[in-house]
Structure 1
Amino acid sequence: MMTNLFSSFDPSAIFSLSLNWLSSFLGFMFIPTMFWLIPSRWNYLWINIINTLHNEFKILINSPYKGTTLMFIALFSMILFNNFLGLFPYIFTSSSHLTMTLTLSLPLWLSFMLFGWINNTNHMFAHLVPQGAPNALLPFMVCIETISNIIRPSTLAVRLTANMIAGHLLLTLLGNTGPSMNLIMVNLLIFIQILLLLLESAVSMIQSYVFTVLSTLYSSEVI
């Protein structure tokens, strides 16, 4: 009970500990860890990965706007972490569902198309007609290029979803046959599962990289 006006500033004690003072450390949550913690080897590794991706995306995009690579690096990081989390037992693999992958690809493609058709209309029309195509095939080439542009978000989403589902299904199907096997076959099955898990780890990295690189290539066409 408050005895006077200033008693609201007294630290409350729980289990004989003044836990109110923990609020003094909440400010560290808003400061990047590199400024108040000694960077570990993982920090240096991740910084090197980000720098490598930045240099590569900068060449692919070739954009006059600064900071465009940050969006694609964040996209790569998000997909990579979700793919890796799905390899752990009893963790939902969100990147294996079209609900998430379409949520990532559709707004990206739509923003690229709107930016391109509003700001670079002639450039976008020129992309519909491949250079050196025969005049007789020009109507068909325009239709083919238009369809290929429209299905880009779905191909991005389905590619990531299918690759994540395939490996997980194979691991699950092989794992379910374990109780009906003898000891020798179980040991062989465990060895195969470990190899498949390593393969899925590589697929998780490769698919996040492929998704991001294709997104950067699509963005470079509208600038």
Structure 2
Amino acid sequence: MMTNLFSIFDPSTTIMNLSLNWLSMLTGLMFVPFMYWFSPNRFSWLWFKMINILHLEFKILLNNNKSGLTLTMITLFSMIMMNNFLGLFPYIFTSTSHIASNISIALPLWITFMLYGWIVNYNHMFVHLVPQGTPAVLMPFMVCIETISNIIRPLTLTVRLTANMIAGHLLLTLLGNTGPMMNLITINGLISTQFTLLVLEGAVAIIQAYVFAILITLYSSETY
């Protein structure tokens, strides 16, 4: 039962033993109208308005330093949000529901920030290992705790995004599998519930992309 249930997240479309499901990470570009790139319209105005709001918020988190890094975070947010949304459509592979996909995003960014911090600003990185006001007796323990919490950051980012995307999809799948066993009256309630959950999953797709980008930004702000 559980194997069949989780098999909806497994790559299955292959040609010559080459998985094609991961190409869904690029299919989001097909949904962008061509006129978006050439002339102003309502869609581009709305998108640029959202990007400007994110830019200002990321800039505040970075203490108005390294403002060029906001472009990376906005791109990260856009990519994750688009992949989350695409996973809500039928027969489209949800790449963000796989740990392999999410860890490949979180781990390189975390390693880059850590290398930059320890090479360029190592005194500041050492200061972060001991919170201000910590008694001298507890300092060795705080260093161990802070070091462990720092090391597991990419894992927590990955598991948070993966678990939230899987939970909603599993709930929709479980409710959908009960449809053939229902009568005409109860199935109308099921359809209403599924529609409500689908709207909720759309909100989750935006929120999880935003949380991922915000946490990466906060982690980067600790390196200088």
TM-score, normalised on structure 2?
0.83
Distance of 1:149 and 1:64 partners within structure 2: 22
Moved over 4 A (4+): 32-35
For residue 42 of structure 1, what is the aligned residue in structure 2? 43
For residue 156 of structure 1, what is the aligned residue in structure 2? 157
Deviation at 1:156, TM superposition (A): 0.3
Would you say the 8 A contact 1:129–1:138 is kept in 2?
A: yes
Deviation at 1:68, TM superposition (A): 1.1
Which amino acid in the other structure matches residue 51 of structure 1? N
Deviation at 1:135, TM superposition (A): 1.2
For residue 79 of structure 2, what is the aligned residue in structure 1? 78
Would you say the 8 A contact 1:101–1:161 is kept in 2?
A: yes
For residue 25 of structure 1, what is the aligned residue in structure 2? none
> 1:87-134 deviations in whole A, cap 9, x for unaligned?
001100000001110010000000000000000111000000010111
Distance of 2:187 and 2:162 partners within structure 1: 30
> 1:65-92 deviations in whole A, cap 9, x for unaligned?
3411100000000000000000001100
Question: How many percent of aligned residue pairs carry the same amino acid?
Answer: 66
For residue 5 of structure 2, what is the aligned residue in structure 1? none
Distance of 2:82 and 2:96 partners within structure 1: 10
Distance of 1:66 and 1:91 partners within structure 2: 35
- State whether structure 2 residue 48 is matched by structure 1 residue 52: no
Distance of 2:170 and 2:58 partners within structure 1: 33
What is the RMSD computed on CA atoms of the aligned residues? 1.3
Matches of residues 192-203 of structure 1 in structure 2 within 5 Å? 192-203=193-204
Which amino acid in the other structure matches residue 96 of structure 1? S
Rg: which structure is higher?
1
Matches of residues 117-136 of structure 1 in structure 2 within 5 Å? 117-136=118-137
Distance of 1:114 and 1:33 partners within structure 2: 41
Distance of 2:36 and 2:186 partners within structure 1: 49
Deviation at 1:34, TM superposition (A): 6.0
Which amino acid in the other structure matches residue 36 of structure 1? F
Would you say the 8 A contact 1:63–1:220 is kept in 2?
A: no
Give the secondary-structure state (helix, strand or coil) at the position aligned to 2:65.
coil
> 1:156-209 deviations in whole A, cap 9, x for unaligned?
010000000000000000000000011111000000000100110000000000
Q: Which runs of 5+ in 2 are unaligned?
A: 1-33
Deviation at 1:64, TM superposition (A): 3.4
